[in-house]
Structure 1
Amino acid sequence: MVSDSQSFSLPRTLQLSGVTFRRPTEIHAADVWELIAKCPQLDRNSLYCELLLCSDFADTCVLAERAGAVVGWLSAYRRPSELSTLFVWQIAVHPEIRNTGLGKGLIMSALKRPSCQDVTHIKATVTLSNPTSGLFFAAVARDLAAPIRQALRFDRQAHFKGRHDSEYTIAIGPIERSP
């Protein structure tokens, strides 16, 4: 499981025998791209984008594997204008193991990394047409005993010219870390 030793613990509901959380490498990009294709609620990025995430952003992205297969993916980065914030771009969980705590495990694994030791907030964007994501982030905030807020970030008309639903920022934090 997770080998990092900071103060975060994995959710009690985690039922993931044999799952390993790790830093991705370039060779994982195609597997990540294929996993995202199995998650129709997610926007599919180009394979090249996944390659950049697995290489240039590997310190904040997390791969979950079971029996050598990619079963989970967290793409995330520290916001250049807010280094204390981890922005969660996407969380993909293989359909066969959804609702097992894997998504929370991916986030907790990222927070335990040395590259995230100064992170005190998590942000993500969600659409109102995806209430599952909102509930997921509310559960993460609850597990971290941190406040959560929501506000419009990208407007359907102003930013997407009507081609995409409005995106709302979910902000979690501050996150209290034990010494």
Structure 2
Amino acid sequence: MVILNISEKLVLETPKLIDGIEINELISNSPPLDTNSLYCNFLQCGHFANTSIVAKLDGNVVGFISGYIVPERPETLFIWQVAIDKQARGLGLATRMLLAILSRPVNANISFVETTITPDNQASWSLFRGLAKKLSCELTHDIWLDKQTHFRGEHESESLLRIGPFNVSE
């Protein structure tokens, strides 16, 4: 009998509309992520499926990354959210998922990744620093949304991280 560890049982897929409700539940159970409306998650699974990814374990959603191509910069993928269920953390899953998005033929023109992160979200800082290292490219960051100016003191500042340029096919 062969026993597979959790990492070997994970399946990465392009999200489908049917995944929207489980994705919404995953994000709701993943503080400090901001929750979106269920409709927003359906849009991510439908309109932004090529730049998003879902991870499943035994058919259940345990990971989701949403992203989109920045309209003014078609070489830039903006990562909106990364959510990994507790049972799937510590396996390098988020990095695998990001690389899977970047490896899709439809995303061959992407040479930069951007995202925003609050100062205290160490898991996300580690993830994107590790991605920059894996892609052998530069990571820059600066405050994009200021705590006082944009959030009236009700939310931490968000730094805009930019990784690139890179070429995944190399």
TM bracket, shorter-chain basis? over 0.9
4+ residue runs of structure 1 moved beyond 4 angstroms?
A: none
Q: Which runs of 5+ in 1 are unaligned?
A: 1-14
Q: 1:178 offset after TM fit, Å?
A: 3.6
In 1, the alpha carbon distance for the partners of 2:22 and 2:169 equals 35
Mapped partners of 1:31, 1:132: distance in 2: 22
**Mind listing any 5+ residue stretches in structure 2 that lack a counterpart?**
1-5
Q: What per-residue deviation string (whole Å, max 9, x for no partner) do you get for residues 27-73 of structure 1?
A: 11001011112211211111111011111111111011111011110
Match of residue 145 from structure 1 = 136
Greater helix content: 2
Structure 1, 82-91 or 15-24: larger mean CA deviation: 15-24
Using the size of structure 2 for normalisation, the TM-score is 0.93
Aligned with 2:91 (options 80, 84, 100): 100
> What's the % identity of the aligned pairs?
35
Distance 2:105 2:68 in 1: 13
Aligned to 1:116: 107
Give the letter aligned to residue 32 of structure 2.
Q
Higher relative contact order structure (alpha carbons within 8 Å, sequence separation ≥ 6): 1
Cα RMSD for the two superposed structures: 1.2
Length, aligned pairs only: 165
Task: Find out whether 1:18 has 2:9 as its counterpart.
Answer: yes
DSSP-derived class of the 1:139 partner: helix
Q: Provide Cα deviations, 1:114-168, integer angstroms capped at 9, x if missing partner.
A: 2211000000000112122112110111111111111111111111122211100
> Match of 2:41, as an amino acid?
E
- Between the aligned partners of 1:20 and 1:135, the Cα distance in structure 2 is 23
